[in-house]
Amino acid sequence: MDRDVEVAITPTGRFTTSRLEGHWYVACLSRELRRRPLARTVLGVPLALFRDAGGAPAAVVDRCPHRNVPLSVGRCVGGELECRYHGWRFARDGSCVEVPGLDAEADRTATRVATVAAVEQDGFVWVAPAGTPTSARPPRMRRVGDPGFHTAHLRLDVPGPMVAAVENALDVPHTSFLHRGLFRGRRERVPVQVTVRHGPDHVEARFEGEPVPPGLLARVLGAEGGIVEHTDRFTVPALAQVEYRLGEREVVLNAFYTPVDDRSCVLHAVAAFRLPVPAAVARAAVMPLARLVLHQDNEILRRQRANVERFGGERYVSTPIDLLGPHIARLLRRHARGEPPPAEVAPDEHVTLLT
């Protein structure tokens, strides 16, 4: 066998993963969590979500300590979670408050179900899968709730690891090929100056002098063209944000990728937009195209994952126009090791990208 080929197919290990268990992850939309409990898996932890008597979200590990039945197939009774098998009932703090048929004076304090932190923000229920959360609140969804902005939500199962999915969401070069005609795909490339800036928990790329991208999806910004203000941003642990502004028109995609396990994740996206057309018209025009783009991304992520598995691990080669992917991986590794932010912020990086 040729030596170069042999080296190229040497297994390199598993997928690049991120297990920041003390950080906040989207578990579900607020409106999904109503009268019945919900089952969700975050970072490999099966959870049962429910609302307490005051309407606040709660999350427990999805296994009754009595006979191992999923608590998520039970029901909510007075803000408590009741097991479907024997009716054992649990409060939001995990304590067992009812064992039907057991003497009322019996001690139940040793019977508990493990809990995880849960909060509600920006129309989502968030959980921190293990330990004390590293921050009091989850990262904010930009422009959501701002005056003059409307929103559209989307949930999608993603057949790829979270790190790969986040890079895909913030990767500009692939759009000219995978999404040609829908978003980008000029015959003659246009040079755009990009500045990459670093923060303690984020990294962003700001594009300067970028014309409105060609394609059906970009026409919502302005069919007449113009120079857009464009910023792509990643925030730990899994929030990708893409912002476009042209005059008073503005569209912000907040895409949060919740890891189910090392091989798959769930996309919870909320687009916030301010456009000179009724919100219902904008949603009707844009959402089908956005879903098509996301399904194209899903298909390439599925093929990428299958090929990584076929070769026994990842092997990447990066160039300066892979603007954020390498920075995202380094940022996640630093947080995973619990390292403090650098004493000095890394200097801005300047790249010319042909879009």
**What range defines the domain where residue 83 resides?**
25-128
189 and 325 in a common domain: yes
Write the pLDDT tens digit of every residue in 243-255. Answer: 999 999 999 999 9
Per-residue confidence (pLDDT) for residue 5, from 0 to 100: 39
Write the pLDDT tens digit of every residue in 76-90. Answer: 999 999 999 999 999
39 and 99 in a common domain: yes
Q: What is the mean pLDDT of residues 64-93?
A: 96
Q: What is the mean pLDDT of residues 97-102?
A: 90
Q: What is the mean pLDDT of residues 34-38?
A: 95
For residue 131, what are the contacts with CB-CB under 8 A and spacing of at least 6? 21, 22
pLDDT at 120 over 90: yes
Our CA angle for 296, 301, 306, nearest 5°, is 130
Per-residue confidence (pLDDT) for residue 298, from 0 to 100: 98
Element (H, E) at 126: strand 124-128
For residue 110, what are the contacts with CB-CB under 8 A and spacing of at least 6? none
pLDDT at 12 over 90: no
Percentage of the residues of the chain whose pLDDT score is greater than 90:
74
The DSSP 8-state label assigned to residue 247 in this structure reads T
Which phi and psi (to 5°) does residue 242 adopt? -125, 120
Does a structural domain hold residue 20? no
Q: DSSP alpha helices (H): ranges in the chain?
A: 3-8, 162-169, 175-178, 279-311, 325-336
- Distance between CA atoms of 202 and 207, rounded to whole angstroms? 17
Does a structural domain hold residue 141? no
Handedness of CA 74, 75, 81, 86 (dihedral sign): negative
Does a structural domain hold residue 139? no
Burial degree of 187 (CB within 10 A; 0-12, 13-18, 19+): exposed
Does a structural domain hold residue 136? no
Per-residue confidence (pLDDT) for residue 217, from 0 to 100: 76
The DSSP 8-state label assigned to residue 343 in this structure reads S
115 and 155 in a common domain: no
Count Cα atoms within 13 angstroms, Cβ side, for 72. Answer: 13
272 and 124 in a common domain: no
45 and 178 in a common domain: no
Token pair in block for residue 316:
């990447």
pLDDT at 54 over 80: yes
Write the pLDDT tens digit of every residue in 247-287. Answer: 999 999 999 999 999 999 999 999 999 999 899 999 998 89
Per-residue confidence (pLDDT) for residue 221, from 0 to 100: 72
239 and 122 in a common domain: no
pLDDT at 8 over 50: no
Does a structural domain hold residue 140? no
Measured in Å, how far apart are the chain's first and last C-alpha atoms? 39
183 and 123 in a common domain: no
pLDDT at 105 over 80: no
Q: What is the mean pLDDT of residues 330-345?
A: 89
CATH number at residue 197: 3.90.380.10
Element (H, E) at 169: helix 162-169
274 and 219 in a common domain: yes
Cis bond before residue 237 (omega within 30° of 0): yes
pLDDT band at 3 (very low <50, low <70, confident <90, very high): very low
Are 323 and 350 in contact, with CB atoms under 8 Å apart? Answer: no
Output the DSSP codes for 177-241: HHTTTTS---SS--EEEEEEEE-SSEEEEEEEEEEPPPSTGGGGT-TT--EEEEEEEEETTTEEE
Token pair in block for residue 13:
């290990």
Does a structural domain hold residue 248? yes
pLDDT band at 106 (very low <50, low <70, confident <90, very high): low
Collapsing DSSP to helix, strand or coil, 164 comes out as helix
225 and 330 in a common domain: yes
322 and 229 in a common domain: yes
Per-residue confidence (pLDDT) for residue 343, from 0 to 100: 84
What global pTM score does this model have? 0.91
For residue 296, what are the contacts with CB-CB under 8 A and spacing of at least 6? 178, 179, 182
Token pair in block for residue 337:
């090791």
Write the pLDDT tens digit of every residue in 134-167. Answer: 999 999 999 999 999 999 999 999 999 999 999 9
**CA-to-CA dists, residue 289 to 10, 101, 118, 201, 301, angstroms:** 40, 56, 33, 32, 18
How many whole angstroms from its chain centre is CA 325? 15
Of 128, 163, 193, which residue constitutes the final position of a domain? 128
**More confident: 157 or 17:** 157
- For the ranges 40-44, 214-218, 345-349, the lowest mean pLDDT is seen at 214-218
Per-residue confidence (pLDDT) for residue 185, from 0 to 100: 77
Per-residue confidence (pLDDT) for residue 224, from 0 to 100: 73
Q: What is the mean pLDDT of residues 336-347?
A: 88
State the angle between helix axes of 325-336 and 162-169 in degrees (0 to 180), rounded to the nearest 10.
140
- For the ranges 4-18, 28-42, 58-72, 170-184, the lowest mean pLDDT is seen at 4-18
Token pair in block for residue 31:
């409106």
pLDDT at 122 over 90: yes
- Distance between CA atoms of 308 and 311, rounded to whole angstroms? 5
Q: How many other CB atoms sit within 10 Å of the CB of residue 220?
A: 20
56 and 194 in a common domain: no
pLDDT at 109 over 70: no
Q: Which of 89-103, 230-244, 305-319 has the highest mean pLDDT?
A: 230-244
CATH number at residue 55: 2.102.10.10
Does a structural domain hold residue 6? no
296 and 191 in a common domain: yes
For residue 46, what are the contacts with CB-CB under 8 A and spacing of at least 6? 39, 40, 61, 62, 63, 70
Domain count for the chain: 2
Does a structural domain hold residue 311? yes
Write the pLDDT tens digit of every residue in 158-204. Answer: 999 999 999 999 999 999 999 998 888 777 888 999 999 999 999 99
**More confident: 346 or 55:** 55
